[in-house]
A and B are shown apart, each in its own frame.
Chain A
Amino acid sequence: MTQLNLDQGQIDRARESARRIAHRVFDDMSQYTTTTVERATLRLMGVDGVDDNQIPLPNRLVAHLQEQKLLQHGAAAIVAGAMDEYGLSAQQVAEAVAAGKLVLGRPKNDKAARQSAEAIAAKMCEHIATQRTVRAQQIEKVGEARTPWLYLIVATGNIYEDIVQARAAAEQGADIVAVIRSTGQSLLDYVPYGATTEGFGGTYATQENFRLMRAALDEVGAKIGRYIRLTNYCSGLCMPEIAAMGAMERLDMMLNDSMYGIIFRDINMKRTFIDQFFSRMVNAYAGIIINTGEDNYLTTADAFDAAHTVLASQLINEQFAWISGLKPDQMGLGHAFEINPDLENGFLWEVAHAQLVRQVFPEACLKYMPPTKHMTGNIFKGHVQDALFNVVSTLTGQNIHLLGMMTEAIHTPFIQDRFLAIQNAKYVFGTMRDLHEEVEFRAGGRIESRAQQVLAETVGILGEIEKIGLPAAIGRGTFADISRTMDGGKGLDGVIAKSPDYYNPFPDLMLAGAN
């Protein structure tokens, strides 16, 4: 399809604003670590498991370091020092601390402890790099679908039931399976352990659940001749730990937004900015595609009026992603088909928004979300709404296509809801495969003018955000009409100022080694 005529100067100005906005936040936040960053570091050093009260050992160990007033130095060197001193593994150190048999202190030889920590970290990086290679080999061997990839959610609460549904979905045509998390997990300040069979509105993200689903999808992928990507939710109070677990178990995608938790889960701003940096760094190194959450803005704010806030947020998310080492093809920038169906020419505006995003981020792995807000109990109309969404997706060359469910407003999907959603998308994608090459946008027409208007508004809003800074802009309710403050929200107590000798081996290893 011919491109919309957009002012490249405006795009550059918007991107430059976003770059300065993100870097200012990053610079301000570099002086802090968080409890979950340190727990993720310990997980990557091999600490896992729970105590008798089901409290994860990484939590026990970090709590111990806090009690001993040591966490500001970074957990890695202290634990590595204890490993050297007592001849233990990281796991054994954690078990001894949890059993009350060991009290940690500063390493006797700090330099040696750092070297040990770095060696352990390097070994984990090797494992993660191997997982990347395995992914590449599998894709090479069994092949992969062409885009838009069909992204489908399973959410039974029981990982074994999820597996049944995921396998069926893959066989029916899904390219990506996301296991939605149990409602409320984002606010847990720990990651549950082991295979789980109870959840509400979803299934707990645990390392064992990741492993089980990965194995099932590998198996079904080999059978049907298509690599099936696995997605989970790297958000909430344990972002870095989920990233670590996903990297170890070869997940392929993670929901991982720089601001979603602040806005929609009322998680503290500092906590989120610090955690998103570390988690994205891990995702970048593991070759994981992140998905950002701008679509959510449009469930609270109006999709037509707030279109520019989506683009502004995507540009900011892109800059945070660069800082963490993510490459454009790992940036699943999110947007959505959420304009009120009663709005005349609403479909034109959806095309304008989707094509605008496509052109501003030509190399990104865009994630396009289906209608949710204006879905009703009328499943027949819902199926049509989803079909129109499918049209825009294929016409504007989106990459990750979350399947719309006609029962969106009613329940978590039944197996036939997914089946019909896949049929709908495949029909539209097939019958319109090359339509985009056959049609042109009328120069100066409605769609082009609308895209230009949204772009101009984006430049404006980013200029304002740059003036006052991102935290103040969020405070003013710039995104999703929701206002948050720097010291409000959950998880601030887990933000710790680093001491000058703070040490963590992973940033050097991972930022240098991202693809």
Chain B
Amino acid sequence: MTQQITENWVKPYGDTMNDGRVQLSFTLPVALDENAKEAARQLALEMGLDEPAVVHAEDMGQGFSFYVLYGQCKHRVDLSRIKVAKPEFETLDKDAINALIAEKMGRKMVVLGACIETDAHTVGIDAIMNMKGYNGHKGLESYHEVRAINMGAQVDSEDLVARAIEEQADVILVSQVVTQKNIHLDNLTRLSDLLEAEGIRDRVILVVGGPRISHELAKELGYDAGFGTKSYAEDVASFAIHEWTKRHAA
């Protein structure tokens, strides 16, 4: 017997339900002329926009031109069929997290953080790890039941793994900000391979964060969780203690 799902179709809204109005802008690597403008319009048609209009076109010099377009999106999607992977846990506040760690683990949780390989951008890892935190959300250093070790930027995966063994880390938190040419995928895969090779992959909770990171991507790469923008220390810590408890339930 098939389950009845109520369909819930959705498409962009401009000023009237289901008008499908969207805006887009792009550059073409050709100088501006009427043909180039028509090419921009036809591209929008190919993208699935009805009645595309080039509302702005400008020459940029050196054989480039810039376009702003509006059009009506032909497509729609059924919201009722969408299921996005996300880590399933409840985000607790700092006190509750501390209490839970004390109750379940009976010792401090060791969290090791780093920006690995060539990545030099510590804004993300600092926001989660450092005392001060970010946007009024204190970092893990301020949690008295967490031993937070921030190794900083450009940490070799080997060094991170060695430190994880030395400190008996419960959680490894990796930040990747630079994603040009998908370098973050290589870096993240390398780390998880190293953890496998050292035989400690199952012993640690492996988490990745960064502006271009989703939980879905993290799972694909063999990580336990991924956190994108608008994630704070309490999100990461809540996941970590939830996951630890789940693993040690047996």
Report A's interface with B, CB cutoff 8 A: 157, 164, 167-168, 171-172, 182-184, 186-187, 200-201, 264-266, 299-300, 302, 373, 376-377, 409-412, 414-416, 419, 481
Report B's interface with A, CB cutoff 8 A: 25-27, 60-62, 64, 66, 117-120, 122-123, 126, 130, 132, 152-154, 178-181, 183, 211, 229
B27 touches A200 (CB 8 A): no
Docked pose: A200 CA to B181 CA in angstroms: 7
A415 touches B126 (CB 8 A): no
A416 touches B27 (CB 8 A): yes
Name the prevailing secondary structure of the B interface residues. Answer: loop
Docked pose: A164 CA to B154 CA in angstroms: 30
B61 touches A157 (CB 8 A): no
A415 touches B27 (CB 8 A): yes
Q: How far is the CB of A301 from the nearest CB of chain B, in Å?
A: 8
Supposing A168-B60, A168-B62, A415-B64 touch, asked if A184 and B25 sit within 8 A by C-beta, the answer is: no
Minimal Cβ-Cβ distance residue in A for B152? A266
Minimal Cβ-Cβ distance residue in A for B68? A416
Contact of A200 among B62, B64, B118 (CB under 8 A): B118
18 contacts between A and B (CB under 8 A): A171-B60, A171-B62, A184-B120, A187-B154, A200-B118, A200-B178, A201-B118, A201-B180, A264-B122, A266-B153, A302-B132, A373-B123, A409-B229, A412-B180, A415-B27, A415-B60, A416-B26, A481-B130
Docked pose: A48 CA to B60 CA in angstroms: 39
Minimal Cβ-Cβ distance residue in B for A410? B211
Docked pose: A266 CA to B178 CA in angstroms: 19
Q: How far is the CB of A294 from the nearest CB of chain B, in Å?
A: 17
B123 touches A300 (CB 8 A): yes
Minimal Cβ-Cβ distance residue in A for B211? A409
Docked pose: A410 CA to B211 CA in angstroms: 8
CB-defined contacts of A481 to chain B, threshold 8 Å? 130, 132
A265 touches B122 (CB 8 A): no
Contact of A416 among B25, B62, B132, B211 (CB under 8 A): B25
CB-defined contacts of A414 to chain B, threshold 8 Å? 27
Minimal Cβ-Cβ distance residue in B for A200? B183
Docked pose: A414 CA to B122 CA in angstroms: 23
B61 touches A172 (CB 8 A): yes
**Given A200-B118, A200-B180, A416-B26, 12 more pairs with CB closer than 8 A:** A172-B60, A184-B117, A184-B118, A200-B183, A264-B153, A265-B154, A300-B126, A302-B132, A377-B229, A409-B211, A411-B180, A412-B180
CB-defined contacts of A171 to chain B, threshold 8 Å? 60-62
Q: How far is the CB of A164 from the nearest CB of chain B, in Å?
A: 7
CB-defined contacts of B118 to chain A, threshold 8 Å? 182-184, 200-201
B180 touches A416 (CB 8 A): no
Docked pose: A335 CA to B106 CA in angstroms: 46
Minimal Cβ-Cβ distance residue in B for A422? B60
CB-defined contacts of B64 to chain A, threshold 8 Å? 168, 415
Minimal Cβ-Cβ distance residue in B for A165? B62
Docked pose: A15 CA to B180 CA in angstroms: 42
CB-defined contacts of B119 to chain A, threshold 8 Å? 183
CB-defined contacts of B126 to chain A, threshold 8 Å? 300
Q: How far is the CB of B149 from the nearest CB of chain A, in Å?
A: 14
Docked pose: A416 CA to B26 CA in angstroms: 7
Docked pose: A88 CA to B64 CA in angstroms: 51
